[in-house]
Amino acid sequence: MWQQKSFEHEETKGILYLVPTPIGNLEDMSFRAVRILKEADYIAAEDTRNTKKLCNHFEIATTIISYHEHNKEISGQKLLEKVANGAKIALVSDAGMPAISDPGYDLVTAAAEAKLTVVPLPGANAALTGLIASGINTQPFYFYGFLNRQKKLKKQELGDLSRLSATIILYEAPHRLKETLSLMSEIMGNRNIALCRELTKRYEEFIRGTVEEVMEWASSGEVRGEFVIIIEGTSETVQDAEEAAWWENLSIEDHVTHYIEETGLASKEAIKQTAKDRGINKRDVYHAYHIEE
């Protein structure tokens, strides 16, 4: 156990600050965030070019150090050494809250394990910004972020999410939106949904409706910009029914694969359990999995 007192001996100890940046509108930058970025010894940035533009706008001259997915181990170690030696490091992501859907999480985890002080600042966040204006129940909610890019794994993820009664928050890129909506309709049904596009920017837009209605918009509308997707949770009645047949929308092959990958069963046991779930002969499952595969 380690009890962090964030502002005790603040002047003399090293600190890793987590500094949110605007998700589109620069006016959303807080006074405190600007001050911390100016006073820090270094700024750790996912994309130094984007952060340089932000710093130029607010006349911030602090040295920027690259920290991203591909150099996080080496760069992260160097950053933590600086904090351990008394430096003030401000971690930022490209936009919004650091450590959510970006490699900042790894740096924060390592800092906490090393008993280094981590101080978060409040600020812009795309997920909550979209949620509160979606018109869909805001409590409870479940933030998932980006789905897997592989269609097979994405279907499994949506199957798991479909049983939640909480409102679900996803992120999605424009070029993958249509496929995601189609799979959502197939697996989650025609529930209420809101697409939140270009949040806080000039072309901010909310597309609210059922999954089918939003799919129709996506087939003819302008699918541009990053999306926050807010999805209505399932009702308890539907949830109970789906719990009884969570595998209903999976092929036999995917059903067996789920048990192998998610629970660690050997293929023989996974086939046996799949046959039991479906009430069919094990030979039929074996044939579908091993021969038709």
135-177 pLDDT, tens digit per residue, is 999 999 999 999 999 998 999 999 999 999 999 999 999 999 9
Q: Which of 141, 147, 143, 72 is nearest to 102 (CA)?
A: 72
Same domain, 22 and 120: yes
Over residues 204-213, the mean pLDDT reads 95
Same domain, 199 and 167: yes
Cβ-contact 132, 138 below 8 angstroms: yes
Same domain, 75 and 163: no
Q: Within 13 Å and on the Cβ side, how many CA atoms surround 238? A: 14
Decide if pLDDT at 240 tops 70.
no
The answer as to whether 4 is a domain residue is no
Over residues 204-209, the mean pLDDT reads 95
Q: How far apart are CA 226 and CA 272, in angstroms?
A: 43
Domain boundary among 91, 124, 157: 124
Domain boundary among 124, 155, 185: 124
Q: How far apart are CA 274 and CA 168, in angstroms?
A: 28
Residue 17, H or E segment: strand 15-18
Same domain, 88 and 102: yes
Per residue in 266-283, pLDDT (tens digit) is 888 888 888 787 878 888
The answer as to whether 6 is a domain residue is no
Decide if pLDDT at 188 tops 60.
yes
The answer as to whether 150 is a domain residue is yes
Same domain, 100 and 177: no
Q: Which residues contact 239 (CB under 8 A, 6 or more apart)?
A: 163, 164, 165
Domain boundary among 191, 216, 236: 236
Same domain, 44 and 105: yes
Same domain, 202 and 279: no
Same domain, 34 and 96: yes
* Domains in the chain, number: 3
The answer as to whether 2 is a domain residue is no
Over residues 228-242, the mean pLDDT reads 75
pLDDT of residue 239: 52
The answer as to whether 1 is a domain residue is no
1-15, 17-31, 80-94, 262-276: lowest mean pLDDT where? Answer: 262-276
- Which pair of tokens denotes residue 55? 């710093």
pLDDT of residue 250: 83
Same domain, 96 and 19: yes
The answer as to whether 280 is a domain residue is yes
Residue 188's CATH number:
3.30.950.10
Same domain, 23 and 116: yes
Same domain, 186 and 276: no
The answer as to whether 268 is a domain residue is yes
Whole-prediction pTM: 0.78
What's the burial of 61, exposed, middle or buried (CB within 10 Å: 0-12/13-18/19+)? Answer: exposed
Residue 110's CATH number:
3.40.1010.10
The answer as to whether 51 is a domain residue is yes
Residue-number span of the structural domain to which 257 is assigned: 245-290
Reported as a pLDDT band with limits 50, 70 and 90, residue 263 is confident
